[in-house]
Structure 1
Amino acid sequence: MYKLWISGVRRLAVTGSEGFVSSGTGAGAGSGSLEVIVPDAGAAIRWACHGYPNSLAKWHYHPQFEIHLIREGTGQLMAGDGLLPFEPGHVALIGSNLPHNWLSDLMPGERLVNRDVLCHVRPQTIRMLSSAFPETSGFEQVLRRASHALVLSGGSARDVADVLVGMGDHSPSRRVADLITMLSVFEQAPAGESRTVVTPEYNPAVAVGAESGVNAAITYISAHLDDVSLEGAANAASMSVSTFSRFFKRVAGVGFADFVRRLRVGRACRMLICTDMPISRIQRISGYDNASNFNRRFRDETGMTPSAYRKMHAMR
């Protein structure tokens, strides 16, 4: 069920890329676009923040594992073959070479300045830590779970978020302590506050070299969400319709129509909460010409009608 809440929505200009270096495409173990992350001199931990849209916010992978916080907006996390709604306060641990991307539900012209806060560390750094300090041996299991995208909620997510944001102002030695604290939270999180996104059957090898097609399709879908078509997405990815349909389901983990529906409902949710637009107009902007179809699709994702959804959030 697709449940959303909005906190501190802002419409501001986007910031720069905060020191990341991105290559074109990479073949390696992942199946997205390879991101080359250059650490600070003499440091094993790389901390950064950036906004959205951003050239780095695409379907990509890297050798480092990543602790990631979403501070603004709602949308969908794509990781491997998994798809999971996110909201402000979303915290995830992404494993080494696991393709991932956070797609925000944006209204036309909207930009989020402070959406992302993250840090990167190579897995071998944590393994050396565990070797030197047996007390941290549980981190190995955390990294194994991160290979399927480990997401926290509740108090565990808030604890990691507070430490990750504060890390930006800390000295290199303090950042080591911050990292250990965050990994400890991931290790000790209750079962009800910890889940993985990627299915056990996921095989990164099935989509090696797929990054250009995936990113082209996502760009097209995001730009044409109100009148998107399977044919248009296939053309953007330079594939036949039948080939693209099979390709997208294999790589994204859901069919094209289901993916588009989730993005459309996500956009409608934001407009219901953040604007006073009539529901009929929100319906059209979200890509639905028929009110009954819009209500049915919205109810399938949220469990309630658009009017009930707006009323629920108006009372908060």
Structure 2
Amino acid sequence: MLSDGSAAEVSGSGSLEVIAPDLDAAIHWTEHGYPHPLAKWHHHPQVEFHLIREGSGLMMAGDGVLPFEEGHVALIGSNLPHNWVSDLRPGEWLDRRDVVCHVRPEVLRVLMTYFPECSGFGVALRRASHALVLSGRSASQAASCLEAMGGHKGVRRLVDFVELLAVFEKVPDDEWSTVVTPDYNPSGGSGSERLLNAAIGYVTDNLGDDIRLEEAAAQAAMSSSAFSRFFKRTAGVGFADFVRRLRIGRACRLLASTDMPVARIQRECGYNNASNFNRQFLVVTGVTPSVYRKARQGC
């Protein structure tokens, strides 16, 4: 078992993902479902444009956590660790969750150097180092560009990509935000990706059941106190808060998309009594479950 002191040396940088370059293209485009081997806490040298097509959950980037829903678009800077954790019920699978576009930062720098018309994208690139997220009309426009890239090759895909850059360059101030705190700086070391991904897997596999900090810590071969500090530093959110956000996220989805009784939703989300469920729901959303359902279902 690791001591409290040794746990402090574990890195928050995530595992290095090796993205094989396309031999005839500078723009790497792919799509995948969820769960998927690529959907984990990781980082890579490439800048990443990311679209969520379906599902909801928590986006994790650096030391920040943000809820996401269908239509979520983000730009992740080079070597910034990140992950999107979808809320899935047992046996559920999302067939087309992600659209991902990777480009090496040097390609973007060359583009901005030789085409002054693209120089304004440098602002978005700097924001991407803190995980840039779009909203509103800008997110819809960026999503359309990313989807179009999947059906095009060669110059046509390049045109889509330039249009995508233009969306990020011209985004209004009220349609963008960043996730990572300004002073974020992952520590050195290795091994944190395995431990954090194991903890995330434990939580998502048991979201409707009893989740214990001691059990998560035991899987990481840490004491509870060491694991608690490690998770907070690496994921940017406390373990209990992470569990609560995922559980309430599942409750929001079920309240909005089903006629399931609130009492059953409460149990599906791992809460044994109504008062605690209502209290935690209010903390996260600012409203009660019944008010949330009425607002989302229009009834």
What range is the shorter-chain TM-score in? over 0.9
Answer whether contact 2:12 2:234 (CA < 8 A) is retained.
no
Q: SS at the partner of 1:72? A: coil
Q: SS at the partner of 1:114? A: strand
Residue 85 (1) aligns with residue 67 (2): yes
Q: SS at the partner of 2:17? A: strand
Instruction: Write the deviation string for residues 74-100 of structure 1: whole angstroms up to 9, x where unpaired.
Output: 111000100001011100001111110
Aligned match of 1:294? 277
Q: Quote the Cα distance in structure 1 between the aligned partners of 2:153 and 2:265.
A: 47
Q: Quote the Cα distance in structure 2 between the aligned partners of 1:143 and 1:73.
A: 27
TM superposition shift of 1:277: 2.0
Alignment of 1:135-214 (within 5 A): 135-205=117-187, 208-214=190-196
Answer whether contact 1:30 1:98 (CA < 8 A) is retained.
no
Q: Quote the Cα distance in structure 1 between the aligned partners of 2:166 and 2:189.
A: 33
Aligned match of 2:223? 240
Q: SS at the partner of 1:85? A: strand
AA in 1 matched with 2:107: T
Dislocated runs of 4+, deviation >4 Å? none
Answer whether contact 1:69 1:92 (CA < 8 A) is retained.
yes
Task: Work out the percentage of aligned pairs sharing the same amino acid.
Answer: 65
Aligned match of 2:260? 277
TM superposition shift of 1:54: 0.8
TM superposition shift of 1:105: 1.4
Residue 68 (1) aligns with residue 50 (2): yes
AA in 1 matched with 2:221: S
Count of aligned residue pairs for this structure pair: 288
Higher relative contact order (CA 8 A, sep 6+): 2
Deviates more, 1:92-101 or 1:300-309: 300-309
Equivalent in 38, 52, 58 of residue 20 of structure 2: 38
RMSD between superposed Cα atoms in Å: 1.5
Equivalent in 255, 263, 273 of residue 238 of structure 2: 255
Aligned match of 2:32? 50
TM-score, length-scaled by structure 2 = 0.93
5+ residue gaps, structure 1: 1-28
Instruction: Write the deviation string for residues 277-303 of structure 1: whole angstroms up to 9, x where unpaired.
Output: 221111112111121110011011111
TM-score, length-scaled by structure 1 = 0.88
Q: SS at the partner of 1:73? A: coil
Deviates more, 1:293-302 or 1:305-314: 305-314
Q: Quote the Cα distance in structure 2 between the aligned partners of 1:188 and 1:102.
A: 26
Aligned match of 2:4? none
AA in 1 matched with 2:234: V
Instruction: Write the deviation string for residues 91-126 of structure 1: whole angstroms up to 9, x where unpaired.
Output: 000111111000111122111111101110000000
5+ residue gaps, structure 2: 1-10
TM superposition shift of 1:203: 0.4
Alignment of 1:1-12 (within 5 A): none
